[in-house]
Chain A
Amino acid sequence: QKEVEQNSGPLSVPEGAIASLNCTYSDRGSQSFFWYRQYSGKSPELIMFIYSNGDKEDGRFTAQLNKASQYVSLLIRDSQPSDSATYLCAVISGGGADGLTFGKGTHLIIQP
Chain B
Amino acid sequence: GAVVSQHPSRVICKSGTSVKIECRSLDFQATTMFWYRQFPKKSLMLMATSNEGSKATYEQGVEKDKFLINHASLTLSTLTVTSAHPEDSSFYICSASKLAGGRDEQYFGPGTRLTVT
Interface residues of A, Cβ cutoff 8 Å to B? 31-32, 34, 36, 41-46, 49, 88, 92, 96-105
Interface residues of B (CB under 8 A from A): 32, 34, 36, 42-46, 49, 51, 57, 59, 93, 95, 100-103, 105-111, 113
Asked if B46 and A32 sit within 8 Å, CB to CB, the answer is: no
Known contacts A43-B110, A45-B108, A100 near B93 by CB under 8 Å = no
Please name all residues of chain A whose beta carbon is closer than 8 Å to the beta carbon of B49 when the two chains form the complex.
97-99
A43 CB contact (under 8 Å) in B34, B93, B102, B105: B93
B108, A88: Cβ atoms under 8 Å?
A: no
Q: How many A-B contacts are there with CB distance less than 8 Å?
A: 61
Q: What are the residues of chain B within 8 A of A31 when measuring CB–CB? A: 103
Cβ–Cβ < 8 Å partners of B103 in chain A: 31-32, 92
Are A99 and B36 in touch, CB under 8 angstroms?
Answer: yes
Kindly state the separation between the CA atoms of A92 and B99 in the bound complex, as whole angstroms.
13
Contacts of A103 in B (CB 8 A): 43
Which residues does chain B contribute within 8 Å of A49, judged by CB atoms? 105
What are the residues of chain B within 8 A of A101 when measuring CB–CB? 46
B102 close to A92 (CB less than 8 A): yes
| Contact of B43 with A43 in the complex, beta carbons under 8 Å | no
